[in-house]
Structure 1
Amino acid sequence: MEYQYKNYTIAFEIIYSKRKTMEISIKPPGIIKVKAPRRLSEEQIIQWVKSKSEWIAKKTSEFKDIEHMLRKKEYINGEKFMYLGEEYPLEIIIDKSLAKSKVKNLNDKFYIHTSIREEYIMNDAMEQWYRERTEEIILEKIKYYEKYFNVVPNKIKIKEQKRIWGSCSSKKNLNFNWRLSMAPISVIEYIVVHEMCHLIHMNHSKKFWNLVGDIMPNYKEKREWLKKYSATIML
């Protein structure tokens, strides 16, 4: 389905299910899905979607603003990489004497020192750099937030987790996505608090969210950032 609203062509998919209300979801790069009760006709759904046109246009416009961040990395000079919520241009420095590629973040730039200009080698070097930064930040933040809890994690690991940012096992082991250092520090703090709250409540009950809110009253703002920009946290 699609229609024109001002300068926007709004195209969406209708998904019928056993539900009482309608819901719109918008995901990068602007994919719109409308969940609707089976009892409603297409015309009713279209009219309801049209009533939300201004909000839909605003959200899809926001995704266009971050579209350049969703492109696969090419590892060329000037390409932008995220760190703590900010973008930094890349500069590649060829040094034939190096046995292993190195990454530095200095003077508002990323530098890759490498003996060979191979994408997979530079990608591995960047991933290792992010893993190390993420581990440093996570350990620091866990230590800071431990004062809010009467329990501590058993183990802490930085892992490959494509679909989630963190997890807590029944053995009180905390796992965190190595890409997290690309996000703003306040968002990383939210993920840390979220997983540490699971040390007490192994669910997403009201008690769990109340505990998160007691420790971080503005946590919903951090969740919104993740909803909007999570697709950009990638290599």
Structure 2
Amino acid sequence: MPDVLHLTLPEGRVPVRVSRKARTRISLRIANGEVKLAAPPGVPLAELQRILELRRDWIAQQWRAAPIVSEALPERVSLFGQALRPAPYEGKRRSVRRDGDTLWLAGAIEPAEQRALLAQWLAREAALYLPARTAALARHTGLIPREVKLANARGRWGSCSSAGVVRLNWRLVQAPVAISDYVIVHELAHLQHMNHSAAFWALVGQHCPEWQARRDWLKQHSAELFEIG
């Protein structure tokens, strides 16, 4: 069984699969959301961990850019932190219907099509929820953006431009409401402070006192939220 190391990125803790091969060089490869390291048999794990730390920035860049392709339908997806079970059924029209904790998928035969259908459904739910929730929090905080848009960036949960445009990753709709609220407040605070200064974090803390715990949750669960789409 191959060894597994871990590297902590801004998005969370990422596993690194280590394979031992008869070779003279160490190589890194990022594919399908997974970091793979090939090394000669005699190199200690501590040395490989040191190399990972040295290549952290490069790994983070490549990991964010690497598309995740899976042929299997996930056993569950989340909406507002609630676990839902996807279940395909026969039907000509492509659709998703929620029945309690089950998401019935119709019109998609292949697993890749089913995953795409799930992503589209989650993105629609995000379009209904995130802008409206942002408007509510903007009224509460007095931090009013010029516009709110959904984004599809990999490895970035939100952004705020100097023009006052807030962008939120649609995948946030999978997280508990408290977590997406933290991201929204974070971006709204950038309307007043376009940096991560002490004043910025004080403003975030004013409207989201538990921001540190919520940020930690997001780091720990980011890989799960990026599994779809």
Tell me, yes or no, whether TM beats 0.5: yes
Alpha carbons of 1:209 and 1:122: their partners in 2 closer, same or farther (altered >3 Å)?
Answer: same
Q: CA deviation at 1:11?
A: 5.4
Measured at CA, do residues 210 and 71 of structure 1 come closer, stay the same or move farther in structure 2, by a change above 3 Å? Answer: same
Question: 2:31 — aligned with what?
Answer: none
CA distance in 1, matches of 2:71, 2:209: 36
Q: Which has the larger radius of gyration?
A: 1
- Distance of aligned partners of 1:29 and 1:106 in 2 relative to their CA distance in 1, 3 Å threshold: farther
Question: Structure 1 residue 10: deviation in Å?
Answer: 8.6
State whether structure 2 residue 76 is matched by structure 1 residue 88.
no
Q: For structure 1, which runs of at least 5 residues remain unmatched after alignment?
A: 1-8, 14-23, 32-45, 47-69
Q: Which amino acid aligns with 2:81?
A: G
Distance in 1, Cα, partners of 2:203 & 2:113 = 43
Matches within 5 A, 1:17-166: 27-29=13-15, 72=70, 74-75=72-73, 79-96=75-92, 98=93, 101-114=94-107, 116-166=108-158
Q: CA RMSD in A?
A: 2.8
Q: Which has the higher contact order (CA 8 A, sep 6+)?
A: 2
Describe the shift of the 1:28–1:87 C-alpha distance in structure 2 as closer, same or farther (beyond 3 A).
farther
Q: 1:198 to 1:118 in 2, by over 3 A?
A: same
Asked if the contact 2:143–2:189 (Cα under 8 Å) also holds between the matched residues in 1, the reply is no
- Structure 2's unaligned 5+ residue stretches are 18-45, 47-67
In the other structure, the counterpart of 2:203 is 211
Structure 2 Cα separation of the partners of residues 153 and 136 of structure 1: 18
Whether the 8 Å CA contact 2:4–2:15 is kept in 1: the answer is no
Aligned residues with identical type, % of pairs: 26
> Shift of residue 71 of structure 1?
9.4
What do the CA deviations read for 1:85-129 (whole angstroms, capped 9, x no partner)? Answer: 232222101113x2xx11123211121111x40233322221211
The count of corresponding residues between Structure 1 and Structure 2 is 176
| TM-score after normalising by structure 2 | 0.67
Name the residue aligned to 2:171: 179
Mark the CA change 1:11 to 1:156 in structure 2 (over 3 Å): closer, same or farther: closer
Residue range with higher mean Cα deviation, 225-234 or 118-127: 118-127
